Amino acid sequence: MVLMVSEEVRDAIAAGRPVVALESTIIAHGLPRPRNLQVARELEAAVRREGAVPATIAVLDGTPRVGLDKEQLERVANEGGIRKLGHRDLPLAVATGASGATTVSATALLAALAGVRVFATGGLGGVHREWTVTQDESADLGLLARTRITVVCAGVKSILDVPATLQRLETLGVAVAGYGTDRFPGFYLSDSGHPVDWRLDTPEEVAGVMRAQDVLGGPDSALIVANPVPEDEQLDPGTHARVLDEALRACRAAGVTGQGVTPFLLDHLVRHTDGASLEANLAAVRGNVALAARVAAAWAAGE
């Protein structure tokens, strides 16, 4: 697989300057046009304001790219037929010359291959509800169990089985810490209702854990920094509970299964909260991107 790293990102990595990886599924599949391109540019600008270099990741014409230029970002946002690529899809996309936006698992893998240590996203995938029946679990978890990268996120998507996901992360040996909180965030919500075992309060503390991972030399696995959306920007918890329950019942009634479940539920939440869930999602992503840039700066300063 030929991995193309932009000159700006390559120079920053070589010089030990901070770099933050950004996924592209939110651009291609998570937001309506033209807002998707506006948000993509906004997130890259937020990384730069914190003194780091953004590395948005995608696959274009069969070439994985770490760091997109203006035209490439516009392609991801506006071109029809952009696929959604997990890490398992990368060889297929490369061999067939396909173009696709990268999910958490594909972004984390390509970032790590390029030498980027910090990655910002919205919410992770995880164990789906009714797992004992469906055996449906996101590929994010297994990939993060064998990839040395720090992921700043707002927890896992609240449509999932959060306690089962936390248990699975523990089983897989993936470190999880709340950032400025003892509670695990709930994506749209500041608090999922579940605690975390570890709390970190500064970017320097996060960078210290990253260095300890390397010194200990244990299995390559991720560090998840769970950064809650601010309470005044979260989705109203009562609205969230009501609409999610309605979405789950609608999903079962429609017979939606497998990869179709998550987009169905997320779309239902957007439509039945009058867009409030989308705004909470974006608030979380903005906070995660800024924090990831500060973590990357702290990491670069200590190398």
Closest CA to 5 of 51, 72, 50, 103: 72
Q: Is 8 among the residues known to form the active site?
A: no
140 annotated to bind ligand: yes
209 annotated to bind ligand: no
104 annotated to bind ligand: yes
Q: Is 23 among the residues known to form the active site?
A: yes
State whether residue 283 is helix, strand or coil: helix
**Cα 23 to chain center, whole Å?**
7
Do the beta carbons of residue 42 and residue 86 sit within 8 Å? no
Is the N-terminal amide bond of 34 cis, ω within 30° of 0? yes
The tokens describing 91, both together, are 């060889």
Q: Which amino acid is at 286?
A: R
The active-site residue, picked from 23, 44, 50, 137, is 23
139 annotated to bind ligand: yes
Indicate the DSSP class of residue 65.
Answer: E
Do the beta carbons of residue 221 and residue 174 sit within 8 Å? yes
192 annotated to bind ligand: no
Length of the chain: 303
236 annotated to bind ligand: no
Q: Which residues contact 266 (CB under 8 A, 6 or more apart)?
A: 157, 159, 277
The active-site residue, picked from 44, 50, 137, 157, is 157
Do the beta carbons of residue 68 and residue 106 sit within 8 Å? no
**Binding site residues, as ranges?**
84, 104, 136, 138-140
Residues flagged as binding site for substrate: 84, 104, 138-140
Active-site amino acid positions: 23, 157
